[in-house]
Amino acid sequence: MTKKERSQILIVGLKEKDAGKTSLALALLAYLKGKGFNACGFKPRAGNSVWYDYDVVHEALSQGRLYGKDAKLLKAASAFGPDAGAIMEEFINPIHRLWAEPQLIDPITQIPYFILDRVTLWFKEGVRNLVVVNEALPVEYKCNDALFENLRAKASSIYHVRDLNTLNTLTEEYYDLAVELVYKEVNKQYDCLVIESYSDIALPWKGLKDLNVVFGVKPGQVSVYDPEKYLAAVQLSASTYSQEELATSRIRDLVKPIKEVRVPPFRSEEIVQELKEKIPLLIKPFSF
């Protein structure tokens, strides 16, 4: 790949939690920037727990915003595009969900136990922040409303969800749109896009295509997939399974990795640099 071409790298988790996606994304961004590419991280959808990630939750909410640790790290590791200025976490991550604990699905309403969603729409005429509040969340899992005063005050619109149909309607109208608006903009501004999926979801949104390489990651291993075969496996699985989001476990029997690279455990302050040194081995089959 030359600097005049554009490339897209997808990173997916081969396990639901703590797979190592963000660490690999940070290593890739550092490597690409070192090679002179104008690279940006992109995590279309993310979420964190108000209980386990309270430091970053409090930091964001005190500003009337909502973002997570991953978006903060990806922003710091991304290059600034020619028109972007100081990019924001909401640009890196247009949809963020704040989870209650435990992260279950209500057996009656079928609504997940989330507190609220922040959905950011990057229109040319201005940015709109939508807040979707889960009013169906049982009272014992709710937080003090004062925590969200600044976020609500800065919101362009606030939607109150009490049933699954309302949540699905909002999702269909705004969520994919929020992702597509940012996706078009980052493709104008950056040579290379490092796209991080969420949880163990095989494709972070339906419209993603034209990938250069796909990495699947779990503790101890990075798998490298041919992008065309990977997307074909996702499409085949989507036609077989009716659920909205496909887990990587559903497609791993349909597409075999080109290669698998073992990764030993590292101390937290060393892991990005150690992974960066393995990037040439991971991308060797591809023209970067």
CA separation for the pair 286, 288 (Å, rounded): 6
Percent helix, strand, coil in the chain, to 5, is 35, 25, 40
- Contacts (Cβ under 8 Å, ≥6 apart) of 142: 100, 115
* 151 and 221 housed in the same domain: no
Domain that holds residue 241: 1-37+195-288
Same domain, yes or no: 82 and 182: yes
Q: How many domains does the chain have?
A: 2
Task: Kindly state whether residues 170 and 52 are assigned to the same domain.
Answer: yes
Both tokens assigned to 29: 């961004």
For residues 69 and 133, state if they share a domain: yes
pLDDT level of residue 14 (50, 70, 90 thresholds): very high
Query: Which tokens hold the place of 105?
Result: 């699905």
DSSP lists the bridge partners of residue 97 as 47, 117
Tell me, what's the pLDDT at 86?
Answer: 57
Residue 67: pLDDT over 90:
yes
Residues 261 and 135 in one domain: no
Based on the fold, state whether residues 202 and 270 are members of the same structural domain.
yes
- Report d(CA 195, CA 60) in Å as an integer: 22
Do 30 and 85 belong to one domain? Answer: no
Whether residue 189 is predicted with pLDDT greater than 90 in this model: the reply is no
Are 58 and 156 found together in one domain? yes
Q: Residue 236: its pLDDT value, please?
A: 87
Question: Looking at the predicted structure, is the pLDDT value of residue 285 above 80?
Answer: no
pLDDT at 84 over 50: no
